[in-house]
Amino acid sequence: MAISTGSVAPDFTLKTKTENGLEDITLSSFFGKENVVLLFFPAAFTGVCTQEMCDVSNGLHSMPNAKVFGISTDTPFAQEAWAKANKIGVTLLSDFGRKVSAGYNVLWENFAGTGGDSSYRAAFVIDKEGVIQYSEVTENPGVMPNFEAIQSTLAKI
C-alpha cells in the first residue's frame, strides 16, 4: 500500500537527463515554493506509460499549480531517448536504484514476471509544506491514475 495522505513525503534526490547532462532533482527543494505531483510509472517505451506521459505533456491533464515529475526505474538515458521519441515534456526522474519506489511503497518486485523490479503506476500530490495530500496506486499497469482526483486535490491546496 502506498504512503497515505497526511504523511510527510519522503525526501529524495534523483537524476534527470537534460541537454546539459545529468542533473540532480531534490524533492525538498520545492517545499515552501511549489506543490509537486509525482507520477510513478512501470517502464519507458510501453504503451500505457507513453500515453500517460504524453497526455500530461500535452495538457490533457492540466496541473498548472504544481511541478510534475514522472518517475521510473529506467536509466536517465533510456528516459531521455523515450522522451525525445515521444515529445514528452514532463521532467523524468530515474529511480534506477529503486530506493524511492520502495520508500513510497510502490516498488513492484518481479515486474510482470520478468525477474526485474519496477514501480507500480502511482500518483502523489504533495503540498508546499511537503505533506502528501493525495495518494493512489493502481496495481493494474493498464489503469491510469485518477487525474480528476489529482486536479481536484490541487485545486483545494
For the chain, the average pLDDT equals 93
Structural domain contains residue 4: no
pLDDT bin (cut points 50, 70, 90) of residue 60 is low
Structural domain contains residue 24: yes
Q: Looking at residue 115, which CATH number applies to its domain?
A: 3.40.30.10
Structural domain contains residue 86: yes
Distances, alpha carbon 114 to alpha carbons 73, 111, 125, 134, 144, in Å: 14, 6, 30, 30, 22
Q: Whole-prediction pTM value?
A: 0.94
Q: Is the pLDDT of residue 62 over 80?
A: no
Structural domain contains residue 133: yes
Structural domain contains residue 57: yes
Q: Which of 27, 39, 49, 106 is catalytic?
A: 49
**Is 49 a known active-site residue?**
yes
Structural domain contains residue 85: yes
Distances, alpha carbon 140 to alpha carbons 23, 59, 75, 98, in Å: 31, 24, 23, 19
**Stretch 15-30: mean pLDDT, rounded?**
96
**126: part of which helix (H) or strand (E)?**
strand 121-126
Structural domain contains residue 6: no
C-alpha dihedral sign at 40, 107, 127, 144: positive
> Which pLDDT does position 74 carry in this prediction?
95
**Stretch 4-18: mean pLDDT, rounded?**
96
Number of independent structural domains in the chain:
1
**Stretch 55-62: mean pLDDT, rounded?**
80
Give the separation between CA 7 and CA 103, rounded to whole angstroms: 12
**Stretch 138-156: mean pLDDT, rounded?**
93
Residue with cell 525538498: 28
Structural domain contains residue 3: no
